[in-house]
Amino acid sequence: MRMAVVGTGYVGLVAGAGFANLGNTVRGVDRDAAKIEALQAGRIPIFEPGLGELVARNVAAHRLSFSTDVEAAVRDSEVVLIAVGTPSGPDGRADLSAVMAVADLVGAAIRAYTVVLIKSTVPVGTNDRVTERIAGRTKVDFDVVSNPEFLKEGAAVADFMKPDRVVIGARSERALELVRRLYLPLMRTAERILVMDPRSAELTKYVANSYLATRISFINEIANLCERVGADASAVRAGAGSDSRIGLRYFFPGCGYGGSCFPKDVRELLGTAEQYGLPLQILGAVHRVNEGQKALLARKVTARFGADLHGKRFAVWGLAFKPETDDMREAPSLAVVAALVGAGAEVRAHDPVARECARAQLPASVRLVDDEYEAARGADGLVVCTEWQGYRTPDFARLRGEMRLPVIFDGRNVYAKCGLAELGFEYYGIGVGKALPA
């Protein structure tokens, strides 16, 4: 099939390359000329394992190309996949301006029956709005299908190739059949396509992310309780999560969830529910707990060293919102670093891949270094914000030697079972390690 993928970010680039890999002819288009220039020159503008090879292979096979000309790409395609950003606006609701701008272009450009797939995460009712918008600009037949994306950054290529399920919200059989044909090659073992109405498909995406965020805020609150009552959050997590009805995934205590999806999608679902006169009590608490959790590591630091951190130096390991990505959107590290710098501390930070993306979002005084031990040099404390594999088994003797004081604040409980007290460290985790006064 001939496809235009509008928006070549984390979702669009993976989906575009993935569909090209199945034999479709895909044009990836974006309004960001620098991004398209990079892609045309064979450079991948984001860090995503396996994506570089997938893009290169399909560009070489002439199935994947890139351009800034959205209109031309749309005109030549049977399927237009919308994967533009839907960030939170100032009121916390999803900003749909990019989606609507693409709808306008689609309305102006199409010349024959076209299926428009909305892959961006969009609030309930957006399919109707996009349909109206396009219909206002063309007499040509088209269908708008809601097709939310569930990939995880860091494992996006694998998730695209082997999705748990594909959700299709469609009103027309014709569109449904075409979209089914697009996805069936990924489901040779068993068909995992869930067909529903567009509103249900739109809501499904928010429910999935909100539920995962709920698990994280729940275990975080329990970890904080563990500290108060003298229990070990790792043991409690394992004990409760080993129940097959509960499970251990998305059930790690930590310094809060971040990223480009959970925070904004939770805010949007809260806004949708308010709008419809049914405020979601549990989800409101999920959001509040997460805001508190992002402040927790810095609170632990000041509980240990005092509110005034002038003259103190801290190493921060890990800036990206999670391992295996360079995405810094709403990363908990940003809150931690801002609080430490705000209290007067000097900060040296390390991240294996997100340094460049992080620079613009960090206070200018923060030094970004290439080596994690260099970050720790002369530090009064080490704060771990992201559980990159490379941090999991450090040379603790060397680390101790580098630091002025051997104090670790572990926001991901990476070292919960490393016996750090015996190795001479003062260790504070999330619901594990030494407790600090409330």
CA distance 318 to 329: 14
- Comparing CB distances to ligand NAD, the nearer of 11 and 420 is 11
Rule CB under 6 A: choose which of 48, 143, 149, 346 binds ligand NAD.
149
Strands 114-118 and 142-146: parallel
Window of 4-12, 167-175, 245-253, 337-345 that interacts with ligand NAD by CB under 6 A? 4-12
Dihedral (Cα; 179, 182, 184, 186), 10-degree rounding: -130
The radius of gyration of the chain from alpha carbons, rounded to an integer in Å, stands at 23
Q: How far is the CB of 339 from ligand NAD (least distance, A)?
A: 26
Q: Which of 3, 5, 8, 110 binds ligand NAD (CB under 6 A)?
A: 8
Which residues from 118-147 bind ligand NAD, rule CB under 6 A? 120-121
Question: Is 69:6 a contact under the CB 8 Å cutoff?
Answer: no
Nearest to ligand NAD of 93, 350 (CB atom): 93
CB of 180 to ligand NAD, least distance (A): 21
Looking at 3, 5, 6, 349, which residue binds ligand NAD (CB under 6 A)? Answer: 6
Minimum CB separation of residue 35 from ligand NAD in Å reads 5
* Contact status, residue 283 vs residue 347, Cβ threshold 8 Å: no
Among 102, 366, 368, 399, binds ligand NAD (CB under 6 A): 102
Q: How far is the CB of 74 from ligand NAD (least distance, A)?
A: 10
Residue among 80 and 349 whose Cβ is closer to ligand NAD: 80
Stretch of 31-39, 162-170, 245-253, 355-363 lying at the interface with ligand NAD (CB under 6 A): 31-39
| Nearest distance, CB of residue 251 and ligand NAD, angstroms | 20
Residues between 225 and 284 that touch ligand NAD (CB under 6 A) = 260-261
Tokens of 306: 């005092």
Cα separation, 127 vs 110, whole angstroms: 18
* Site stretch for ligand NAD (CB under 6 A), options 79-87, 288-296, 368-376, 401-409: 79-87
SS3 at position 37: helix
> C-beta of 282: minimal distance to ligand NAD in Å?
22
Rounded to whole angstroms, the Cα distance separating 11 from 118 reads 12
Query: Nearest approach, Cβ of 48 to ligand NAD (angstroms)?
Result: 10
Q: How far is CA 341 from CA 101, 156, 308, 345, in A?
A: 40, 34, 10, 5
What tokens does 386 get?
């992201």
CA distances from 316 to 35, 286, 380, 414, 425 (A): 30, 26, 11, 14, 16
Name the residues annotated as catalytic: 261
**Beta carbons within 10 angstroms of residue 421's beta carbon:** 11
# binding residues, ligand NAD (CB under 6 A): 26
Residue 296 pairs with which residues in a beta bridge? none
- Alpha-carbon span 251 to 114, nearest angstrom: 42
DSSP code at position 238: H
Examine residue 77 and tell whether it contacts ligand NAD (CB under 6 A): no
Mask for 32-71, x = binds ligand NAD (CB under 6 A): x--x----------------------------------x-
Instruction: Kindly tell me which of 114 and 121 has the beta carbon lying closer to ligand NAD.
Output: 121
Q: Does 151 bind ligand NAD (CB under 6 A)?
A: yes
Distance CA(225)–CA(156), nearest Å, equals: 34
Work out whether 11 is an interface residue with ligand NAD (CB under 6 A).
yes
Q: Is 104 in the site for ligand NAD (CB under 6 A)?
A: no
Nearest of 71, 91, 89, 86 to residue 29 by alpha carbon: 71
HSE-up (13 A, CA, CB side) for residue 338: 13
Applying CB under 6 A, the residues found at the interface with ligand NAD are: 6-12, 30-32, 35, 70, 83-86, 98, 101-102, 120-121, 149, 151, 153, 260-261
